[in-house]
């Protein structure tokens, strides 16, 4: 067992990673809205940039802080790793969440600055029964994915690419365009542009995300109990090689 990097360094990584993730989401949303007329095309440009940006940030900062960039991922990590004492301790968890939320806000402001748009509170209401269900599904899937890939022993480059790809799909298959992240949701309040979200929509979105995360954790526990033998099926056998 090796020591973790100092908490301050990990907090910086979470601040930077969450921040730049929001900068990518908000900035590419502004660029898309300025340059394209078709709303679907705008979303395709926005989601493509996010796939690339998110995967790269996880790959880069994973070795420093684990690259959570998301309070529900940090909480899931703390809960699932409690029994084996490999999860985030309570104090670290609090620091992670503060760094993530601060990063999310900072990232939105940075995007506004680059595009010379005054920072303002978004007026885009996003809450409907459908979008809340979308957030539940999107967050459950995200937490299941991260937990499952980690338990199966996939490498960091594979996990990074998979999480980016997942969000690229979830932009489109959920009705909420998949926020799935409380820190990013709060950060996106601070831009009145394509990717913004009204502050009145935040609490319902956060509640849906927390519910989704709980479902994701439960699904991961059922499907990927650490002691579960891996199947002898050819495809499963292949995957074991990657665990070796």
Query: Residue 138 Cβ, how far from its own copies at the closest point, in Å?
Result: 9
* HEC per residue, 68-130: CCCHHHHHHHHHHCCCCCCCCCHHHHHHHHHHHHHHHHHHHHHHHHHCCCCCCCCCCCCCCHH
For residue 227, give the 3-state DSSP assignment: coil
Nearer to its own copies, 45 or 180 (CB): 45
CA 236, 241, 244: angle at the middle one, nearest 5?
125
Contact stretch for its own copies (CB under 8 A) within 22-30, 180-188, 196-204, 206-214? 22-30
28 belongs to the binding site for its own copies (CB under 8 A):
yes
Nearer to its own copies, 98 or 169 (CB): 169
Contact stretch for its own copies (CB under 8 A) within 41-49, 181-189, 200-208, 210-218? 41-49
181 belongs to the binding site for its own copies (CB under 8 A):
no
| Per-residue binding letters, 199-218, with its own copies (x by CB under 8 A) | --------------------
What DSSP line would sit under 170-189, residue for residue?
HHHHSTT-----HHHHHHGG
- Using CB under 8 A, which of 11, 14, 31, 191 touches its own copies? 31
**CB-based contact 80:147 (threshold 8 Å):** yes
- Using CB under 8 A, which of 175, 207, 211, 221 touches its own copies? 175
Cα–Cα dist 143/180, whole Å: 9
Contact stretch for its own copies (CB under 8 A) within 118-126, 170-178, 181-189, 197-205? 170-178
14 belongs to the binding site for its own copies (CB under 8 A):
no
183 belongs to the binding site for its own copies (CB under 8 A):
no
- Using CB under 8 A, which of 11, 14, 15, 51 touches its own copies? 51
60 belongs to the binding site for its own copies (CB under 8 A):
yes
For residue 52, give the 3-state DSSP assignment: helix
Residues from 79 through 138 that contact its own copies (CB under 8 A): 81, 86, 88, 110-111, 113-116, 128-131, 133-134, 137
Q: Which H/E stretch holds residue 24?
A: helix 7-35
Cβ-based burial of 228 (10 A; exposed 0-12, middle 13-18, buried ≥19): exposed
32 belongs to the binding site for its own copies (CB under 8 A):
yes
């Amino acid at each position: 067992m090796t020591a973790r990097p100092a908490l301050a360094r990990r907090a910086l990584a979470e601040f930077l990673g969450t921040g730049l993730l929001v900068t990518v989401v908000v900035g590419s949303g502004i660029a898309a809205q300025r340059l394209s007329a078709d709303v679907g095309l705008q979303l395709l440009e926005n989601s493509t940039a996010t796939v690339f940006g998110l995967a790269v940030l996880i790959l880069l900062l994973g070795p420093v802080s684990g690259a959570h960039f998301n309070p529900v991922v940090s909480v899931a990590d703390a809960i699932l790793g409690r029994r084996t004492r490999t999860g985030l301790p309570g104090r670290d968890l609090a620091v992670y969440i503060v760094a993530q939320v601060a990063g999310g806000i900072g990232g939105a402001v940075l995007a506004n600055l680059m595009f010379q748009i005054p920072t303002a509170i978004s007026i885009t209401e996003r809450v409907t029964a459908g979008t809340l269900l979308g957030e539940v599904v999107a967050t459950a899937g995200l937490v299941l994915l991260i937990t499952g890939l980690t338990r199966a022993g996939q490498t960091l480059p594979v996990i990074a690419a998979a999480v980016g790809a997942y969000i690229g799909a979830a932009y489109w298959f959920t009705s909420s365009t998949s926020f799935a992240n409380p820190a990013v949701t709060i950060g996106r309040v601070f831009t009145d542009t394509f990717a913004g979200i009204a502050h009145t929509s935040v609490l319902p979105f956060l509640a849906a995300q927390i519910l989704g995360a709980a479902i994701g954790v439960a699904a991961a526990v059922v499907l990927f109990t650490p002691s579960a033998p891996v199947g002898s099926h050819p495809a499963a056998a292949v995957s074991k090689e990657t665990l070796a």
